[in-house]
Amino acid sequence: MRRSIQQITVCTVAAICVSCSKPGQDRQIVDDAAAALGGAQRLLDMKTIVIEGEGTNGNLGQDMTPEATGQVFELFGYRRSVDVNSARVRIEQTRTPNFVYFQGNQPQHQVFGVDGEVGYGIAPDGAATRTADAVAKDRLTDFYHYPLTAVRAALVEGAALSHPRTASGQRIVDVVSARKVPFTLAIDDRTSLPTRVVSMTDNTNLGDVAVETTFADYRDVNGLKMPFRITTRTDKYVTTDVRVAKQFVDGVVGDLSAPSKVRTATPIVGPAAAVVTVEEVAPGVWFLAGQSHHSVVVEFADHLTLIEAPQNDVRALAVIAKARELRPGKPLTEVVNTHHHFDHSGGLRAAVSEGLTIYTRKANVAFYQSALTKPHTLGADRLTRNRKPLRIEAVDEERTLQDDAMTMTLYHIAGSAHADTLLMAYLPKQRILVEADVFSPQSAVQPYAANLIENIKQHGLAVDKILPIHGTITTYAELLKTQAAQK
C-alpha cells in the first residue's frame, strides 16, 4: 500500500514537471546569458572583478517618515573588489550624508566585506570587527547580485537551476549556487543580458523582503559586457545606487580575506542577550536601561504603560518581562513608540505578540499596519509563533493619557530634522520628559537639541529631568548647556 502511494506521488510530480517546463529550458537561459556577457569559458576563467564609481546609499528605516526616501549618503571613491573563486568581496567608500545626521555631516570612510561566511568591517583606525552572521549572509548573497558572478555561479558544477519562466519581456530562472545561496536571475528576452538578480532575506522590521539589484547601461569591456548602472533595493527602498566609472576583470585586488582576528572571532549568531537594569526615577516611573536602547515604564491606576519597545524580540521581550515584575498585580497594556526608525520600532512585533496596544504618531499607522502583519517565514519571530490582533492608537499633535494616579501627555516633536514621526512623553507632576534621539547626552554632536528646546518652550512644559532613550538620565539644565555649547 505504502509503495503504491509513493509511486503515485512520483508520477504526479513527474507529470507536473513535464507540463510546466521542457527539460533544459532553465539551462538555456543561463547559457544564453553567458553567451551575451562574453562566453561561458570567459566567465569560468574569471578570477577577480573591480568596480569603481560613485553613487548613493539610501537611509533604510531611518528617513523622515516610513515612506520617505529623500535622505541619502553621497558615495565617493566607491571601489568593490571581488575574488570570484573564494566569494570574497571588499567595499571601500566615502559617504557624506545629504541630511542632518546624528553623527555629524563630515565624510565617513568605510571599509567592509565578506569572506565566504565571515563578514567584517574595518574602522578608520584599522580595528577590524566581525559582523553578525545574518549580515555576512546578506553580503555573501550580494556577491551574486552582479551579472558576471550570478551567471558564472549558475554555470558551475553544483549549482541547481529550476522554475524557468517568462514575465514582462524577461526570461527568469531560480538558481541555488554551489555555496547553497538561492537567488533568481532575470535576463532580457531580446538581448539575453541580465536585467536583475533577486534574493529574499529576513528583515526584523519588514519581514520576508526581496532584495533586488537591477543592471543597466551595459558597455563592452575587453570583450565582456558589464553594466554601468547598478541599483539595489530592499523592498521598494533603494539602498545602493552605483554609477560605474571603471570596471575590469582579472586585475590585481590584493588579499581580500577577512582579517585573521575576525576569522577566529566567535560567530555572532543572533542579537546579544538582553541586559535590563531598573532605576526608579520617581514613584511610578522607572528607567529600564542596560544596553544601547532604553525604555521607561509609567504606572497608571490600573495598568502600566511602556515607552519604547526597541531593536528586536530579544530586547523588547526582556524589557516587557522586567516591566511586569515591577507591579506584578498590574497589567502592562500599552506601549508608546517614540518614532518609526527601525532600531526604535524593531520590538513592536514582540509588543503586539504580548498583547500591547501601540501608541504612535499617525504618520506611522499605515506602515505599521502593513509591517506588523507581514510574514516572517525566513526568521520566524515571536509574533509569527504567537499571533495577536494589532491594536494601534494614532497620536496627531498631542494626546493625554490620564487617570487618578498618573498624567502623561504625548507631543509630536514638530520640525525636527531627525524624523517627522517623533513623540516625546511629558509627565507634568513629575516634571519628567522622555525623548529619543533628539538629545542623547553622550553624543559628540547634538544637531536636534535646539529644536527640542523650541518644542518644550512651545508647549510651556516645566521639565526638570530628561529620560533619554540613548545615554544616561539628564536634566533640562544640561540640555540648555549642551545647546549653548553647540553655538
> What does the per-residue mask of binding to Zn ion show for 386-425, with x meaning CB under 5 A?
----------------------------------------
Residue 245, C-beta contacts closer than 8 angstroms, at least 6 positions apart: 52, 53, 54
> DSSP per residue over 119-182, as a string?
EEEE-TTS-EEEPBHHHHHHHHHHHTSSHHHHHHHHHSTT-EEEEEEEETTEEEEEEE-TTS-E
> What does the per-residue mask of binding to Zn ion show for 432-451, with x meaning CB under 5 A?
-----x--------------
Least distance from C-beta 60 to Zn ion, angstroms?
13
Yes or no: say if 55 and 248 are a contact pair by the CB < 8 Å rule. Answer: no
Least distance from C-beta 344 to Zn ion, angstroms?
6
Least distance from C-beta 429 to Zn ion, angstroms?
28
Of 73 and 218, nearer to Zn ion (C-beta) is 73
- Answer yes or no whether residue 294 interacts with Zn ion by CB under 5 A: no
Tell me the site size for Zn ion, rule CB under 5 A: 2
Least distance from C-beta 50 to Zn ion, angstroms?
36
Q: How far apart are CA 405 and CA 300, in angstroms?
A: 5
Q: How far apart are CA 425 and CA 417, in angstroms?
A: 19
Of 184 and 205, nearer to Zn ion (C-beta) is 205
Of 56 and 59, nearer to Zn ion (C-beta) is 59
Residue 460, C-beta contacts closer than 8 angstroms, at least 6 positions apart: none
Least distance from C-beta 341 to Zn ion, angstroms?
3
Of 435 and 437, nearer to Zn ion (C-beta) is 437
Of 334 and 437, nearer to Zn ion (C-beta) is 437
Within 342-371, the residues that bind Zn ion by CB under 5 A are none
Q: How far apart are CA 211 and CA 229, in angstroms?
A: 16
- Answer yes or no whether residue 341 interacts with Zn ion by CB under 5 A: yes
Least distance from C-beta 437 to Zn ion, angstroms?
4
Q: What angle do CA 203, 101, 97 make, to 5 degrees?
A: 85
Q: Which stretch binds Zn ion (CB under 5 A): 106-114, 337-345, 394-402, 452-460?
A: 337-345
> DSSP per residue over 20-42, as a string?
H--TTHHHHHHHHHHHHHT-HHH
Least distance from C-beta 56 to Zn ion, angstroms?
20
Amino acid making up residue 236: K
Q: Find the residue with minimal CB distance to Zn ion.
A: 341
Largest Cα separation within the chain, whole Å, is 84
Which positions lie near Zn ion, rule CB under 5 A?
A: 341, 437
